[in-house]
Every structure is written in structure tokens, then in C-alpha cells.
């Protein structure tokens, strides 16, 4: 029996939500602001594992998860592309600035293609990257192509990984929590590396911590 992880019963959630619920969760995490806190990585892997135990059909599950991931990113991109220019129409606002818009445009011109794929495996970041791609006016055909690749690698990849391990390793449920923990750790690693390597990011974090300390 799989125990709840961090007081959050993924198995119970998946069994209760079913295909439509899983579709909605992956869709929301892939492109809606409200979805950044959702456990996409562990959810996909656990759903794949449950499919190996006969609770779900792996073909239907993997297909729906890829569609949800791709559609969610497209909604995020459309939101960023339509609303972003209005938000940044003034030089400065409370939360945004034109400088940040130009930074987003330059970032996606230089790194956009690989960012769309790699961001899929970084919690929270995957929610905001398609929105920023829209804000930065990334060409849609480029975004869409790499969005599909990223959706396949992430949604289908993690789901099939859970299914494969559940089908081939005896009593794999004993190791499920460590495996999920490893997946989460690996997904956070690129963010840590970026913070270590990027001086401007480190500077922003230090300034934020100092400002919070003074408040």
C-alpha cells in the first residue's frame, strides 16, 4: 500500500479525480497562474504506476496527459501574448516594467527553444514559462513545435516511466516515495544551478532577502 506523501494522498486523489480530473490538473499546471502549486511530476509518475496495477488504461492516460500539457501551455502563451503588452504599456507599474518585457523578449530570442522543453521538468517554472513566452512575443510556430516536444517528453515520459517501473519491478510500491522524492529533487536541480551561475539572479535574491529583513 502506498502511503500519503507529505500528508497529500496522491493515490487517493488520482483514483477520485479519474481521467478528467487528471486532465484538468495537468492543464492548469501547464499554463494557468493558479496551477503553479500542483504536483505535476509526482502526479504523472504515480498515475502511470497505478495504470500498471490496472486502475487506469496507460494508452488513454498518456494521450490525455500530453494533450492537457500542450493545451495548457497554449492557453498560457495566448494569455501572455494578449495581456502582456497591455501590462507593459507603461514604463513602470507596481508589479511590472517595460524593462522586464524587453528582458523576456531577449531571453526567449536567445534561449526560448530549449527553455520551453527544459521548463517542463521544473516545478512552478513550467507554469510561467509559456506565459512569459507570450509576453516576450516568441513566434507561435516555434513555441508550438517545442511545446509539443516538451509535452511529450514530460507528460508521456513520466507517465510511461511510472508504468514501466510498476510493470517490471516486484513490489515497486515500497520504493515509490523515494523515487518520487528523487524526481522532485532532479526537477529542482536546474533552478539551483541557474541561481549559482547567474550573478543577476543571485543579486535579485539577496536584495529580496535584505528587503524582507528590513520590513
For helices 40-52 and 58-87, the axis angle rounded to 10 degrees is 170
7 pLDDT higher than 50: no
- The alpha carbon dihedral of 188, 191, 192, 193 has a sign of positive
Over residues 63-80, the mean pLDDT reads 93
Residue ranges in 119-198 assigned as alpha helix (H): 125-135, 140-151, 157-168, 176-197
State residue 56's pLDDT score. 93
- Separation between Cα atoms, residue 198 and residue 205, nearest integer Å: 11
Asked whether residue 119 carries a pLDDT value surpassing 60, the answer given is yes
The CB-based long-range contact list for 146-149 (8 Å cut-off, 24+ gap) reads 146/112, 146/113, 146/114, 146/116, 146/117, 147/70, 147/73, 147/74, 147/77, 147/116, 148/70, 149/116, 149/117
Claim: this prediction has a pTM higher than 0.75: no
Mean local confidence (pLDDT), 54-68: 95
Tell me what pLDDT residue 2 has: 44
- Residue ranges per structural domain of the chain: 10-214
CB-based burial of residue 6 (10 Å sphere; 0-12 exposed, 13-18 middle, 19+ buried)?
Answer: exposed
Longest distance between any two alpha carbons in the chain, whole Å = 60
Mean pLDDT, all residues of the chain:
75
Amino acid at each position: 500500500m502506498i502511503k500519503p506523501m507529505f500528508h497529500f494522498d496522491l493515490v487517493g486523489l488520482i483514483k477520485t479525480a479519474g481521467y478528467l480530473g487528471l486532465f484538468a490538473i495537468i492543464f492548469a499546471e501547464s499554463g494557468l497562474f493558479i496551477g503553479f502549486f500542483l504536483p505535476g511530476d509526482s502526479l504523472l509518475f504515480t498515475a502511470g504506476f497505478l495504470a500498471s496495477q490496472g486502475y487506469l488504461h496507460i494508452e488513454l492516460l498518456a494521450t490525455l496527459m500530453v494533450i492537457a500539457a500542450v493545451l495548457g501551455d497554449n492557453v498560457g502563451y495566448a494569455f501572455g501574448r494578449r495581456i502582456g503588452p497591455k501590462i507593459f504599456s507603461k514604463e513602470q507599474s507596481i508589479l511590472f516594467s517595460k524593462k522586464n518585457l524587453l528582458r523576456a523578449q531577449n531571453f526567449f530570442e536567445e534561449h526560448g527553444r530549449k527553455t520551453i522543453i527544459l521548463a517542463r521538468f521544473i516545478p512552478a517554472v513550467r507554469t510561467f514559462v509559456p506565459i512569459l513566452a507570450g509576453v516576450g512575443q516568441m513566434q507561435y510556430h516555434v513555441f508550438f513545435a517545442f511545446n509539443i516536444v516538451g509535452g511529450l517528453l514530460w507528460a508521456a515520459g513520466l507517465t510511461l516511466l511510472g508504468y514501466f517501473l510498476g510493470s517490471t519491478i516486484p513490489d515497486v510500491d515500497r520504493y515509490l516515495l523515494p523515487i518520487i522524492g528523487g524526481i522532485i529533487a532532479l526537477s529542482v536541480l536546474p533552478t539551483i544551478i541557474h541561481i549559482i551561475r547567474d550573478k543577476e539572479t543571485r543579486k535579485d535574491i539577496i536584495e529580496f532577502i535584505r528587503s524582507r529583513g528590513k520590513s
